[in-house]
Amino acid sequence: MKLKLGLKTFLFIFVMIYGMWVTWYIYISFAEVKNNENRVLTERPMLTTDNYLSYPQMWEEYFNDHLPFRNELVTVNTVIDLLVFDKSSNDQVIIGRNKWMFYKSQNGSDSIADYQGTNLYSEENLKDIAQKCIGIDKELKGQGKEFVIFIAPNKERIYYDMMPDKYGPPNDEYRTKQLVEYLKKNTNIRVVYPYSELMEAKEKLGNEIYYKTDTHWNYIGGYIGSACLLDELGIEMDDINEENIVIKKIGVKEGDLAKMLNIASFTGKFDVEYDVSGYDDHHMIQLEKDFNTVYNCKAEKADNRKIYVYRDSFSDSMLPYIGSQFDESWFRYSGTYTYEDFLEQDPDIFVYETVERNLGYLQWFSLVEEERGK
C-alpha cells in the first residue's frame, strides 16, 4: 500500500514537471516571451576542463533563469511581497510608503549614503574637485565657451516623506550640498542644483514630480530643472505654476525600479506619465534620438548659441525644454562622449549634467577623453 502511494506520488510529480515543460514549449510557439527583468539572464554554460568543478552551480543558475513561466511566477511572488508584506524581492529596490520605490545603489554610487550624509567629502576632496572644475572652466573659456554644472537631486531627498521609517529623515549635511556651497564660495564655477525649486513645486502642485516606480523625475520635474538651468544661461521660462502652463496626464509609466522587480506591467497602472505644454517651444524638432549616443534638436528663432549637454538619463525629461530654447542643441550620452565629438560640434555652451548619486564621477571627468582618470 505504501509502495503504491509512493509510486503514485512520484508519477504525479513527474507528470506535473514534464507537463509544465511541454506546456511551456507549446506556449512559446504562439506567444512572445521576453526577459521582463532589468538585467541580463544567465547564458547556457559549456562544460570545459577548466570549469567542471563549478559547472553544476553554473547550470543551476542557468536553469533558474530559464525556468518555464519564470516571468509569471516571479511576478506573482513579487506582487504578493509588495501588496501584502511591503517587501522588495530585489535588494537594490526599496519599498517606501504608499508603494513608492527607491533605488539603493548603482556601480559604486550610493543613494542611501547621500540621503543619510554618511559619505561626506573631506576638505581635500572638495579642493581637488574644485581644481578639476576650474581647469575645465579655464579650457572652455580659452575657447570662448561657457561652462555650467547641473546636478539633478536624488529622488530620495525630494520624496523623503515616502522613505521607510528605518532610514530616518534626510541629513541636513550631505555631499552635494557640500560641493555646491564650496564651489560657489571658492570659485567662479557656475553650478545649478534645483533642490529648493523642486521642493517648492512639490508643495504647490497636486502632481508628482518624480515617478513612483522609477529612479527619475518626470516631465514636470524635468521642466522645473530645465527652467533653473536656462535661467542660469539667461533664458527665462514660464513658471510651472503660471496659468498658461498646462500639465496633463497622458498615460501610465512602467518604471525602471518596477522592471527590476519584474512587475512593470502591473505597477504601470498606478504610475502616471505627464505632459507639460504652454511654453514657447520655438517649433522645435528632434532630429536624432538614441539614448546611448545622441539626442539632437533644432528650433526656430530661439537663442542662437549652440548648447552641448554631457548627459545621463535625467536629461531625457529635460530635452523638450532645453532643446526648444536654442537654435541647435546636442545631448551626448556620457558613456559615448569623445573630445573629437565635442570639437566637431563646437558649441557655445558646455553643460555637465549628472544626478547627484553619480556626482563622484565629476572628479574623473576631462574634456579630453585620454586624460580621464579611471
Q: What would the grid cell of residue 224 be? A: 522645473
**Is residue 162 within 8 Å of residue 96, measured between CB atoms?**
yes
Confidence check: pLDDT of 24 > 70: no
Band (109; pLDDT cuts 50, 70, 90): confident
**Is residue 292 within 8 Å of residue 269, measured between CB atoms?**
no
More confident residue, 358 or 370: 358
CB neighbour burial string for 193-205, b if at least 16 within 10 angstroms, e if fewer = bbbebbeebbeee
| pLDDT-above-70 percentage for the chain | 74
Band (30; pLDDT cuts 50, 70, 90): very low
pLDDT digits (tens, 9 = 90+) for 67-78: 554 555 455 555
Band (92; pLDDT cuts 50, 70, 90): confident
Band (21; pLDDT cuts 50, 70, 90): very low
Q: Which of the residue ranges 64-73, 107-116, 209-218 has the most confident prediction, judged by mean pLDDT?
A: 209-218
Q: What is the pLDDT of residue 221?
A: 98
Instruction: Report the distance separating Cα 193 and Cα 36, nearest Å.
Output: 34
H or E, element range at 109: strand 109-110
Packing angle of the helix pair 175-186, 123-142 (nearest 10 deg): 50
Band (57; pLDDT cuts 50, 70, 90): confident
Q: Which of the residue ranges 5-9, 102-106, 204-208, 313-317 has the most confident prediction, judged by mean pLDDT?
A: 313-317
Q: What is the pLDDT of residue 61?
A: 66
- What mean pLDDT is predicted for residues 202-225? 96
More confident residue, 44 or 250: 250
- What mean pLDDT is predicted for residues 168-177? 97
Q: What is the pLDDT of residue 9?
A: 58
Q: What is the pLDDT of residue 79?
A: 52
Instruction: Report the distance separating Cα 182 and Cα 173, nearest Å.
Output: 13
pLDDT digits (tens, 9 = 90+) for 324-341: 999 999 999 999 999 999
| Average pLDDT of the chain to the nearest whole number | 84
3-state SS assignment for residue 373: coil
